[in-house]
Amino acid sequence: MARKQHIGLVKNDTWLEPYEDAIRGRHEHALDKLNQLTNNGKQTLSDFATGYLYFGLHRTDKGWVLREWAPNATDIYVIGDFNGWQEQEKYRMKRLKNGNWELKLGVRAMQHGDLYKLRVHWQGGEGERIPAWANRVVQDEQTKIFSAQVWAPEQPYVWKKRTFRPSTSPLLIYECHIGMAQDAEKVGTYREFKDNVLPRVVADGYNCIQIMAIAEHPYYGSFGYHVSNFFAPSSRFGTPEELKELVDAAHSQGIAVIMDIVHSHAVKNEMEGLGNFAGDPCQYFMQGDRHEHPAWDSLCFDYGKNEVLHFLLSNCKYWLEEFHFDGYRFDGVTSMLYYSHGLGEAFGGYGDYYNGHEDDEAIAYLTLANLLIHEVKPNAITIAEEVSGMPGLAAPFKQGGYGFDYRMAMNIPDYWIKTIKELKDEDWKPSSMFWETTNRRKDEKTISYAESHDQALVGDKTIIFRLIDADMYWHFKKGDENFVANRGIALHKMIRLLTAATMNGGYLNFMGNEFGHPEWIDFPREGNGWSHKYARRQWNLVDNHALCYHYLGDFDKEMIHLIGAQRNFQKTPVVEVWHNDGDQILAFSRGDLLFVFNFSPTRSYTDYGFIVPAGSYDVVLNTDAKAFGGNAFADDSVRHFTNYDPVYAQDGKGWLQLYIPARSAVVLKKKD
């Protein structure tokens, strides 16, 4: 009898063999759903995901057409500036089949810039609603009320860069937020970001920006994670054309643009969002005790409904097609994968991923989303923010995976926080650091990062603040540094270098963290007097060469440029050369680069030896350089030659002996 052929995921990891039936079951479920949505292949998934071209408000040759899905509605009127916000027969929608509604109007019935809403009636009630497919939503400055806005400019945006292919070898991501990207205590705009921040990203060597809070959200302080209007770019930052202008400008400078997409939940709001669209709170969302997210005060999508899949998949295609985004970082994937949302789960072994606690409908949706995105844009980038470690998340669909290109290496920032908080400097173990930064599934690419926006929020602390704390206010002026500041500056560089140098897919940094931006992020709210003081980025600090921030910013720039210059750096094997926890020394190589770290706070080593490929080595980056706030104890202009050793000569290796100052790291490049 022929042996059963293992599915790719199991072939790559034999420990998954006991769970192969579950893996195949999920794969088959996604295939069944794919066949259902594509009419058994008679159309493509991309053909299916075109809801935004049908639903919503559109200008036609004859005037206007508005369509909406509201199966529970008994009557719907369009109200707005054009009819005094009163129900009128002319603006009454007509019920079609499948719970859809339609209104056709003449060209003069409304005009670009008019505000409007739906007045939806249902059995036993009525309410004003913003159309679910609205592509422009604005807030009145005085009343704070949100309304849809007719958006059909006479001249559509003309793209300057029509085709673009992201550079992913390696992928170097600058995570950012448009509103808080300016120095001024206000909400920044798409244009200001394009003019003031994008040039910094380019100069710093990153090749991708990951933008948060794009889809409209009623509460600014939600960081964009409580979305109300999934097809409307947030108007608080500017117009849709200005967002397109930003994406276009980024592409023209070689920068990919990916969007933080939130399909894991939605805001509860009813007047602004989808919370109770037509008298049925479960039109888009789960029923019963799965309706609300217990930790996020939000609503959970019903991924088992084809209409919901149509809405969400169309949303994935919309941003790619309409705004030329290059892909997505999917937020809250753990919450989608498990009935428990991952809350209170330990995830101690493989059995915890295949024990019946997983939501197969959500898994099928994520799989279909990845298939669709790569069908629409083959070079698109998809990243999963997922903390449980679910196998196969970033493995190809054909192998039984869910099809993401990358997963976030969420263990790494947690590890650095734990190390800084709990261990004395003398107890930092290089073997542990190397394990944490390289511990990943061989068949899944990851995005490594030391910290993201999560660590910068109120209630948490950035790495620089954990290291230096209040001394940043008193001892961060050049010449006035104390021991705490010097220690923080040294370790901040080393932590970032080790994290970036061990990547196997890409590296991410949150804007400002590269130069040790002080303080937390606190959005304007009642508790702080609606202040923008902490919801901004103080670029003046890194630009001021009288302060120490520029040391960190300059180091980050050199590090990113060095890594970015190594073609396919992320694919080059990370080869451990040496570690000694007693000495607190770690060395590893990638291609012709050798990375050497000395985490000892007090011990510098003279002629410390490593067995490496024979030849000569030049220093290309040193955390201890004067330019980066170091002591410059070593002479980086010296070329280092390996010493002959008959034991290793037959393997083409020799001894490389280095002077390694305490609390420093150096990168050397083999020259011949």
Return the active site residues: 331, 385
Q: For residue 102, is it left (φ>0), alpha (ψ between -120 and 50) or beta?
A: beta
Q: What angle do CA 249, 253, 259 make, to 5 degrees?
A: 60
Residue with tokens 């079951």: 25
Which positions ≥6 away from 659 have C-beta within 8 Å?
604, 605, 606, 607, 608, 633, 634
Which positions ≥6 away from 228 have C-beta within 8 Å?
130, 137, 146, 216, 217, 218, 266, 267, 269, 272, 273, 274
Q: Tell me which DSSP letter residue 195 carries.
A: I
Concatenated DSSP letters of 83-138 = GTT---GGGB-EE-STTEEEEEEETTS--TT-EEEEEEEETTEEEEE--TT-S-EE
Q: Are 661 and 598 in contact (CB under 8 A)?
A: yes
Residues 104, 91: Cα–Cα separation, whole Å:
9
Residues 621, 596: Cα–Cα separation, whole Å:
11
Q: Can you give the length of the chain in residues?
A: 672
Whether residue 524 has a cis bond before it, omega within 30° of 0: no
Residues 247, 162: Cα–Cα separation, whole Å:
11
Q: Token digits for 273?
A: 């969002």
If DSSP codes are grouped into helix, strand and coil, which group holds residue 443? coil
